[in-house]
Amino acid sequence: ASILDLHSGALSMGKQFVNIYRYFGDQIRDVFTQEDFQLYRDVRGRIQAIIARTFDLDPTLLYLTKPTFFSRINSTAAKTQHDEYWHPHIDKVTYGSFDYTSLLYLSDYGSDFTGGRFVFMDQNANRTVEPRAGRVSFFSSGSENLHRVEKVTWGTRYAITVSFTCDPAHAISDPTLP
């Protein structure tokens, strides 16, 4: 599994993280453009608006929080504990600042990868989301939404996790191109 946090520049590489902004220096503009960051802001705004509408929240009181990241998951064996994405967890417990979690899928279950489905775990019955490119899944981040991701068995699963908080003390700004 690999992650990229546009805000901090953290990119997982093997058993460590590197800062892509420091790694590429001035050449980062050959990797990302202002348009890439504008697209991210637009997508984040759309997701924020639909979460606010769905949960009857004032969108101006819902703030982007960290970590917010792109993920790439394949069937390669985990190199670190952080690569073990398949364990059941609660986002509010894992990340602290999360009140609402969203995932925008960038690849398709069944054609780009197998395994990798998102599973909400419930005592009565699990609920499973099959990723499709462009599909957005979002939920409150508390104990009511214990979940896990199935291990990817073939191909590569891409997604963006965009998280929100109701606490302005945990708010972050949209990422910018250095």
Of 162, 173, 157, the C-alpha closest to 47 is: 162
Q: What's the CA gap between 144 and 109, in Å, rounded?
A: 25
Backbone angles phi, psi at 105, to 5 degrees: -85, 140
Q: Is 157 among the residues known to form the active site?
A: yes
Q: Single out the catalytic residue among 44, 46, 117, 157.
A: 157
List C-alpha distances in Å: 116 to 21, 33, 57, 83, 86. 29, 30, 31, 13, 9
Nearest alpha carbon to residue 104 among 168, 175, 37, 43: 43
The DSSP letter of residue 14 is T
Closest CA to 91 of 68, 114, 108: 68
Return the bridge partners of 155, or none.
Answer: 113
What tokens were used for 3?
């992650």
Tokens 């104990």, located at residue: 143
Question: What are the residue numbers of the active site?
Answer: 157
